[in-house]
Amino acid sequence: MNRADFHLQNLDSAREEAQRLFARKADLQGAWLNWVATQIYALQPAAYASMVRRELHSLQEKSET
């Protein structure tokens, strides 16, 4: 499977995972950053973890505006 196909196949899942992680931010407050880093580190494959990281970054940017 090439990179574009992988991205298309996993985009919805990556967005859902990013939303799940972001939803915990208010609950965990100061501990959230370390927790979320651990959660992302555990995701496999690395390309999927990167997708989740990008989606999470997008959610953070939207929440700051």
Q: Indicate the helix (H) or strand (E) that contains 6.
A: helix 3-23
Tokens coding 14: 């990556």
Reduced to 3 DSSP states, what percent helix, strand and coil does the chain have, rounded to the nearest 5?
90, 0, 10
Domain count, the chain: 1
pLDDT at position 35? 97
Q: Is residue 15 within 8 Å of 53, Cβ to Cβ?
A: no
pLDDT at position 49? 97
Q: Is residue 56 within 8 Å of 22, Cβ to Cβ?
A: yes
pTM for the model: 0.91
Cα 59 → chain centroid: 9
Provide the domain limits for residue 21.
Answer: 3-64
pLDDT in tens, 1-13: 899 999 999 999 9
